[in-house]
Amino acid sequence: GLDQPDWGEIFLGDTLVSSRDFVVRPRYRSLAMVFQDLALWPHMTVFRHVEFALDPACYRGAAKEKRCKELLALVRLTKYDRRPGQLSGGEKQRLALARALAAEPEYLLFDEPLSNLDLASREQLLGEISSILHADNITALYVTHQPEEAIHIADDIALMENGTIKSMCGVGDFALRQRDIWERNFQELQLRLTQHDKKEEKIIPLHARATG
């Protein structure tokens, strides 16, 4: 919603939200996003991040505080008074997710949210994100370059190249394709190794002199 397209249309469900001649402002779209760089506010505490994203028309006073604590408990984050600079990488990811969920969006966007984490943290958070999305029945668009992440979290997968969708399939079909690709690559590697072994190799003894 921050840029208007030169061509094409963007729909959320059946609702047109953006085209060359029409745009729905971001605040009127039921969207939230977890950015690759997280876009956390360095001057705000953990609690304030979540509080800021709540709809003031729905949450006031004690209800607001209760909802903030519920969301932070959901992502297992209890350091309410700390600022982003005092959090670990995984804790920052949890905070970004809690803030996005606080907006109670119909659609949640993820832009490679786990790309800066180590493997163990990435696997743990991926499982938690998947559980939260399915438990709350949230429609999410999750962008990743990692097939393993896509298989773990998705119901349907779209493969894109240069901004164009090349194919779409269910996660089961995608997993089978990945297995076929792995097997084909493995077979090609075996063939190359076999061909290499059959070649005549010239070995220079250690006591001989090489020329050239």
Triad 95, 97, 3: Cα angle to 5°: 115
What pTM was estimated for this model as a whole?
0.76
What is the reported pLDDT for 59? 93
Give the strand pairing for 31-34 and 107-111.
parallel
Instruction: Let me know if residue 210 belongs to a domain.
Output: no
Closest CA to 103 of 71, 139, 143, 127: 71
What is the reported pLDDT for 3? 80
Please report the sign of the dihedral spanned by the C-alpha atoms of residue 127, residue 132, residue 39, residue 88: negative
Mean pLDDT per 10-residue segment, the chain (212 residues): 83 91 89 92 97 92 94 93 94 95 94 87 89 90 88 86 83 70 60 57 51 52
Instruction: Let me know if residue 181 belongs to a domain.
Output: no
> What is the helix (H) or strand (E) element at residue 164, kind and residue range?
strand 164-170
Q: 93 is in which domain, residue-wise? A: 10-154
Instruction: Let me know if residue 90 belongs to a domain.
Output: yes
User: Domain holding 144: CATH number?
Assistant: 3.40.50.300
What is the reported pLDDT for 172? 78
What is the reported pLDDT for 71? 95
d(CA 173, CA 156): 9
Instruction: Let me know if residue 75 belongs to a domain.
Output: yes
